[in-house]
Amino acid sequence: MAQIHISPQKKALVYTRNFTNRLIHWTTFFSVITLLITGYYIGEPTAVYGQGEAYNTFVMADIRYYHFIAAMVLDVSLMVWFYLAFFSMSHRYWRQMLPTPKNIKEAMEVKKSYFTFKKPKFYSHFDPFDGLLFLALILFMVMQMVTGFQLYVEGLPQNYWWAQIIHLATDWVEWVFGSHQNVRLVHHLMEWIMVSGIIVHIYLQVTKTIIWQDGHIGQMVGGYKYKDIK
């Protein structure tokens, strides 16, 4: 018969994530997953075939549409996140993500804890190691945004006002990478780097939830995680 083992460590519930923070997290998560799936098809269209007659099959058009909608959702989510990170009274945590000597030192301590299983100190929002990982993922998402718009604008009428705005904002990308094809390659490369980063992020949160019993995953649903009481 299975036995239930209760942790002897006394814990207190700490409110760490409000509704806005959790909404941004899950909006970003689902939009990124949608972008990864649809982006894979756009890069490898033989992965899925249409059904029926050719004139009734618009698989690529539909996938590109879903990709664009998810990109718009992600862009709005990132803009809201940036605003809150710098100007909100309760979300202003951008300093915790900077690669300062203090944050790097504490990040290395957290990294060390994954090998020694010695629990690091309590962080109410996210620890410095997660902060640096989030910073990298955000920079990759921004790179995906600008390269994606540069690829997208090629299919728009050049006299369209929306296309002119995108050209003004992203034409420098093609100059930096040398050609339109290089922009496409960078966009695809960033996709797989982000997949790797997401896998690492999920693995770390599951590990902390199981080993440290702090409710790291649960806090993104209910807003609370546990703090040890000495």
Name the residue ranges covered by the structural domains of the chain: 18-210
What confidence score (pLDDT) does residue 108 get? 92
Return the number of other C-beta atoms located less than 10 Å from residue 168's C-beta. 9
CATH number of 18-210: 1.20.950.20
How many CA atoms, within 13 angstroms, populate the side-chain half-sphere of residue 148?
A: 25
What confidence score (pLDDT) does residue 187 get? 93
By the 8 A CB rule, do 89 and 57 touch?
Answer: no
Residues forming beta bridges with residue 228, ordered by sequence position: 11
What confidence score (pLDDT) does residue 90 get? 66
pTM of the model: 0.83
Q: Mean per-residue pLDDT for 149-163?
A: 84
Per the prediction, the chain carries an average pLDDT of 84
CA distances from 136 to 120, 143, 198 (A): 22, 11, 11
Q: Which residues, 6+ apart, have CB-to-CB distance to 181 below 8 Å?
A: none
Q: Which residues, 6+ apart, have CB-to-CB distance to 111 below 8 Å?
A: 129
Q: Which residues, 6+ apart, have CB-to-CB distance to 149 below 8 Å?
A: 166, 169, 170
Tokens of 109: 């301590």
What confidence score (pLDDT) does residue 77 get? 92
The residue among 156, 148, 152, 149 whose CA lies nearest residue 194 is 148
At residue 7 the predicted structure's pLDDT band, cuts being 50, 70 and 90, is low
Longest dimension (CA), the chain: 72
Q: Tell me the C-alpha distance between 21 and 18, whole Å.
A: 5
By the 8 A CB rule, do 50 and 59 touch?
Answer: yes
At residue 57 the predicted structure's pLDDT band, cuts being 50, 70 and 90, is low
> How much of the chain is in helix, strand and coil states, percent to nearest 5?
70, 5, 25
Query: Tens digit of pLDDT for each residue in 20-50?
Result: 889 999 999 999 999 999 998 888 877 666 6
- Residue 43 identity: G
Tokens of 138: 């955000």
Return the number of other C-beta atoms located less than 10 Å from residue 214's C-beta. 21
By the 8 A CB rule, do 38 and 70 touch?
Answer: yes
Query: Tens digit of pLDDT for each residue in 177-211?
Result: 988 899 999 999 999 998 998 998 898 888 888 88
Q: Is the pLDDT of residue 227 over 60?
A: yes
